[in-house]
């Protein structure tokens, strides 16, 4: 489904794309200005500076690279030089050492020298016989450039630490007279691109995507995920094991995806992974999204903010600016706005969301979801309501916020485990449940309960054991699982679930202990008994009942009457019998019962103090 959708999306984009066939837009940072004899006169900065405002209102300057048309890559391997290459390692054959602040052709694998040599050989063949002034200067440059002699090149030294991440273009004399515009070079490349066979095989079949008999792709183009090191690249379709061979077809001939379809879907996937409005990172999973329309900017910016992307108002175009900024303010306050009010957002358009993780030479698709944009937003609105455990203040709970509550905390500045990641299938399941409006994965409830039972409250991790988000996760999981309101927004006197009442009872015992002791306690009953009480109430509550009698002797008469009445109400609901063990669902009820009663007790305490002050 994904490949087919990406091909359809590519067709929509091509309607308004004036880019010539065989060429593609490339972000370029610097221009290498050559003299007629091929020497570097200067390296000029092509980046455009503009100011943006961060969340705190501070202004910062951002530099945006210039987009220039370059020949499309006719890929053989990932290390091949490109026609009119823009990568510094190939052009100059030098590495920048940040530690010393100097350039050097040396590295462990001799990659810089090999890359430059391949570039010279490739471009020498490509430009052979061309005699325009630009071509002559270009040829003279790569024929005479010796990396070992240019380690202190003054123009490169000006670029410094920006060198490795920058892209370059050549020009003759003036910086806007780019090599890519040279008529002879353009004619030579267009001729090569037109006659180039994307694969040496003659295997043809009916393409499973386009439905036409076309040459089948033997190798699919690699795609870089924007997470981690550059090594996190791979192919969406790749079959290199003999177990994947059938009917004598090897490698990706088995997939029946034509070269044409392969180029379409990979180019669109690369575009989505580069454009910050079309993807976000959730844990270590890259999530892309797009709408089936020519200009899906408004929908994608809206979705990015809704599921946890950064709202960069500086990148919002004029036609959608007011809508998106207004929507962003609503979303941050925990309310998904009514999209039918926004002219630039089509609630009926088909919308796709897909998640990927790196997996060696392949990228692994964890999920794909398709629905109308309006339905997804409606389900996301319900997702936020289900997660909310308090009426106020309202706030947006993003997927990355959920992820943080499911992993072990940091202790002593170090991670508490070898990995602070949750399994991608669990994160994918949580997202799909939110998009579909269906039951959350059982692993979500089990994981958050484990964290609450194992984690501890201390000065460095205040409220790490139980907070609004964790309680809200339990509430959402239980209500969706049982398809009814098992857990309400606040303490429910009508809820007679024994586990829920035990949780409330535990909160009262803890509050009594805190009230009878002045100052901070080194250890509370929560520290000592919470985990056991949550799993096996009968093993703990008789002890807590005895302790409460001792603690209440230290309270004044008013507090004694208040707590005695509250304890009586809760124990009456239990009929004098504590549960022996609690199931996972009941443990969730216990925790929310504790949380809601705790909130009620401290809210009542604050209210009483205000009344005393006013009285």
Cβ atoms of 38 and 139 closer than 8 Å: yes
* Domain membership flag for residue 473: no
* Domain membership flag for residue 253: no
pLDDT tens track for 156-198: 999 998 999 999 999 998 756 799 889 999 999 988 877 765 4
Predicted TM-score of the model (pTM)? 0.78
Q: Which helix (H) or strand (E) holds 103?
A: strand 102-104
Over the chain, what is the mean pLDDT?
85
**Domain of 78, in residue numbers:** 2-196
For 578-588, give one letter per residue: b (16+ CB within 10 A) or e. bbeebeebbbb
Q: With DSSP H G I counted as helix, E B as strand and the rest as coil, what are the percentages for the chain, rounded to 5?
A: 45, 15, 40
* Domain membership flag for residue 148: yes
Q: State the chain's maximal CA–CA distance in angstroms.
A: 103
Residue 493: pLDDT band with limits 50, 70, 90: very high
Which of 156, 179, 196 corresponds to the end of one domain? 196
For 391-414, give one letter per residue: b (16+ CB within 10 A) or e. eeeebbbbbeebbebbbbbeeeee
* Domain membership flag for residue 370: no
* Domain membership flag for residue 300: no
* Domain membership flag for residue 384: no
Which of 177, 196, 215 corresponds to the end of one domain? 196
* Domain membership flag for residue 206: no
**Order of strands across the sheet that contains 279-282:** 279-282, 285-291, 350-359, 362-372
Whole-angstrom Cα distance, residue 101 to residue 87? 20
Cβ atoms of 587 and 535 closer than 8 Å: yes
Average pLDDT over residues 35-63: 82
Q: How many domains does the chain have?
A: 2
Whole-angstrom Cα distance, residue 300 to residue 289? 7
Q: What is the pLDDT of residue 204?
A: 85
Q: Does the pLDDT of residue 300 top 80, yes or no?
A: yes
Which of 151, 175, 196 corresponds to the end of one domain? 196
Which of the residue ranges 397-406, 570-579, 598-607 would you say has the lowest mean pLDDT? 598-607
Cβ atoms of 288 and 278 closer than 8 Å: yes
* Domain membership flag for residue 23: yes
The token pair that represents 130 in the structure block: 């061309």
Q: What is the pLDDT of residue 487?
A: 96
**Beta-bridge partners for 48:** 64
pLDDT tens track for 264-299: 999 899 999 988 889 999 888 999 999 999 889 889
């Amino acid at each position: 489904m994904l490949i087919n959708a990406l091909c359809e999306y590519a067709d929509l984009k091509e309607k308004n794309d004036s880019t010539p066939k065989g060429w593609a837009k490339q972000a370029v940072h610097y221009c290498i200005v050559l003299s007629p004899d091929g020497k570097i006169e200067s390296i000029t900065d092509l980046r455009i500076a503009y100011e943006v405002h961060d969340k705190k209102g501070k202004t910062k300057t951002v530099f945006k690279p210039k987009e220039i048309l370059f020949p499309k890559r006719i890929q053989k391997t990932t290390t091949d030089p490109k026609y009119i290459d823009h990568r510094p390692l190939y052009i100059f054959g030098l590495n920048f050492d940040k530690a010393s602040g100097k350039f050097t052709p040396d590295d462990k694998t001799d990659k810089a020298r090999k890359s430059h040599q391949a570039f010279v050989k490739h471009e020498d063949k490509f430009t052979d016989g061309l005699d325009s002034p630009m071509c002559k200067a270009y040829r003279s440059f790569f024929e005479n450039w010796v990396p070992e002699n240019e380690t202190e090149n003054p123009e490169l030294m000006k670029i410094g630490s920006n060198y490795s991440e920058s892209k370059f273009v050549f020009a003759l004399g003036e910086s806007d007279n780019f090599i890519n515009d040279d008529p002879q070079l353009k004619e030579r490349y267009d001729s090569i691109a037109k006659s180039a066979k994307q694969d040496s095989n003659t295997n043809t079949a009916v393409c499973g995507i386009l439905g036409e008999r076309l040459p089948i792709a033997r190798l699919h183009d690699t795609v870089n995920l924007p997470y981690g090191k550059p090594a996190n690249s791979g192919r969406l379709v790749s079959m290199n094991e003999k177990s994947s061979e059938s009917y004598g077809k090897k490698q990706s001939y088995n997939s029946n995806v034509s070269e044409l379809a392969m180029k379409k879907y990979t180019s669109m996937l690369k575009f989505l992974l580069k454009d910050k409005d079309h993807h976000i990172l959730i844990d270590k999973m890259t999530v892309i999204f797009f709408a089936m329309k020519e200009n899906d900017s408004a929908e994608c910016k809206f979705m990015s903010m809704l599921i946890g992307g950064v709202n960069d108002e500086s990148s919002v175009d004029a036609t959608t600016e007011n809508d998106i900024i207004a929507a962003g303010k609503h979303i941050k306050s925990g309310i998904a706005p009514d999209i039918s009010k926004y002219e630039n957002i089509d609630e009926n358009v088909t919308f796709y969301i897909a998640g990927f993780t790196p997996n060696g030479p392949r990228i692994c698709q964890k999920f794909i979801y398709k629905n109308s944009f309006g339905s997804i937003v409606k389900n996301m609105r319900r997702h936020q309501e289900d997660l909310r455990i308090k009426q106020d203040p309202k706030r947006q709970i993003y997927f990355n916020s959920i992820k943080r509550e499911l992993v072990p905390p940091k202790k002593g500045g170090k991670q508490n485990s070898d990995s602070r990641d949750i399994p991608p299938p669990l994160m994918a399941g949580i997202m799909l449940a939110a998009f579909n409006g269906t039951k959350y994965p059982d692993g979500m409830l089990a994981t958050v309960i484990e964290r609450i039972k194992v984690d501890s409250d201390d000065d460095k991790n205040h409220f790490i054991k139980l907070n609004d988000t964790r309680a809200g996760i339990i509430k959402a999981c239980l209500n969706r699982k049982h398809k009814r309101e098992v857990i309400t927004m606040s303490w429910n006197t009508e809820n007679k679930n024994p586990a829920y009442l035990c949780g409330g009872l535990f909160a009262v015992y803890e509050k009594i202990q805190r009230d009878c002791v002045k100052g901070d306690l080194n250890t509370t009953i929560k520290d000592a008994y919470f985990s056991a009480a949550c799993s096996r109430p009968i093993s703990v509550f008789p002890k807590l009942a005895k302790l409460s009698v001792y603690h209440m002797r230290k309270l004044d008469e008013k507090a004694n009457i208040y707590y005695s009445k509250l304890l009586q109400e809760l124990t009456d609901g239990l009929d004098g019998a504590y549960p022996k063990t609690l199931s996972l669902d009941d443990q969730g009820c216990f925790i929310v019962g504790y949380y809601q009663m705790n909130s009620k007790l401290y809210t009542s305490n604050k209210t009483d103090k205000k009344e005393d002050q006013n009285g």
